[in-house]
């Protein structure tokens, strides 16, 4: 409610951190802000919100039309098409989103962001082979992009292409060693293929750089437990409890190992 529109815009940027379902109360008054840029930003943050009344939804729908019209001003630029696609996805207009991503690729065939987002759109629709094709094309453009390789590995796992997936996930974890998530997923994939010893080696290495990573600690505990190496499992379980003393699940996991 500050009189300065720039301050209101700053408030909206801060509220973008809220989960979608928590935004209506604070953001909706700015849908009728006297400044157009503020109205558009408020609309962007509320598109796709659930659990509102039909009257409130109708307001969002009207504002969304103005927002889409504003985005079309820069529709001749790849980023403009990406922004349009994001809005269409929030509105549930999947076909329009796909068209926007493809238009972005017509404008810039080397756009990694467009291919990643289009692949994710296909993934959400269960069209894994189309997703893999986009990711492979992205990899050809940028062969050492860890994000692309990680996404490709996940798509390959979903398509039961396990050997190729392990290669992709391994390369992603090597290219981005400080991204614990990549090492964690690669470790899970190794373990899923019966390669538990290699999995814990990968995860322990990642944990040495990210000592309070809950996912790594849980995975190391459970994989060692399943390997029958209870001493190692108990050690990582203790680390987990020390790192997260308020986590009842961590305590239960540790205590379950005492009984074995």
Using one digit for the tens of pLDDT, what is the confidence trace for 33-86?
A: 999 999 999 999 999 888 888 999 899 989 999 999 999 998 999 999 999 999
- pTM, two decimals, is 0.85
How many other CB atoms are found less than 10 A from the CB of residue 42? Answer: 26
Whether the CB-CB separation of 26 and 52 falls below 8 Å is answered with no
Q: Give rounded-to-5 percent helix, strand, coil for the chain.
A: 75, 0, 25
Whether the CB-CB separation of 216 and 210 falls below 8 Å is answered with yes
pLDDT the model gives residue 21: 81
pLDDT the model gives residue 49: 87
Measured between alpha carbons, how far is 152 from 131 in angstroms, rounded to an integer?
8
pLDDT the model gives residue 22: 85
Measured between alpha carbons, how far is 96 from 163 in angstroms, rounded to an integer?
35
The two tokens of residue 186 are 């690669």
Whether the CB-CB separation of 82 and 117 falls below 8 Å is answered with yes
Using one digit for the tens of pLDDT, what is the confidence trace for 190-248?
A: 999 999 999 999 999 999 999 999 999 999 999 999 999 999 999 999 999 999 999 99
Whether the CB-CB separation of 109 and 115 falls below 8 Å is answered with no
pLDDT the model gives residue 6: 95
Whether the CB-CB separation of 67 and 98 falls below 8 Å is answered with no
pLDDT the model gives residue 20: 83
Using one digit for the tens of pLDDT, what is the confidence trace for 92-109?
A: 999 999 999 999 999 999
pLDDT at 260 over 70: no
Buried b (16+ CB within 10 A) or exposed e, 223-253: bbbeeeeeebbbebbebbbeebeeeeebeeb
pLDDT the model gives residue 52: 87
Using one digit for the tens of pLDDT, what is the confidence trace for 125-166?
A: 999 999 999 999 999 999 999 999 999 999 999 999 999 999
């Amino acid at each position: 409610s500050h009189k300065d529109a720039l301050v209101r815009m700053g408030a909206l940027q801060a509220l973008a951190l809220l989960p979608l379902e928590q935004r209506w109360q604070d953001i909706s008054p700015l849908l009728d802000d006297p400044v157009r840029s503020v109205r558009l930003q408020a609309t962007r943050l509320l598109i796709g919100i659930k659990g509102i009344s039909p009257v409130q939804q109708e307001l969002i729908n009207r504002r969304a039309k103005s927002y889409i019209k504003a985005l079309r001003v820069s529709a001749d630029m790849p980023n403009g098409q990406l922004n349009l696609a994001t809005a269409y996805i929030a509105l549930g207009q999947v076909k329009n989103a796909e068209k926007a991503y493809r238009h972005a690729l017509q404008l810039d065939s080397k756009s990694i962001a467009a291919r990643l987002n289009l692949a994710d759109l296909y993934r959400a629709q269960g069209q894994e082979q189309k997703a893999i094709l986009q990711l492979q094309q992205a990899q050809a453009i940028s062969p050492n992009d860890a994000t692309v390789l990680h996404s490709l590995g996940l798509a390959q796992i979903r398509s039961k292409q396990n050997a190729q997936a392990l290669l992709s996930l391994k390369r992603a974890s090597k290219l981005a060693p400080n991204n614990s998530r990549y090492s964690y997923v690669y470790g899970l994939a190794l373990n899923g293929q019966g390669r538990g010893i290699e999995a814990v080696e990968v995860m322990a290495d990642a944990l040495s750089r990210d000592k309070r990573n809950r996912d790594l600690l849980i995975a190391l505990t459970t994989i060692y437990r399943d390997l029958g190496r209870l001493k190692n499992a108990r050690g990582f379980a203790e680390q987990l409890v020390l790192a997260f003393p308020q986590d009842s699940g961590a305590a239960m996991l540790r205590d379950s190992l005492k009984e074995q």
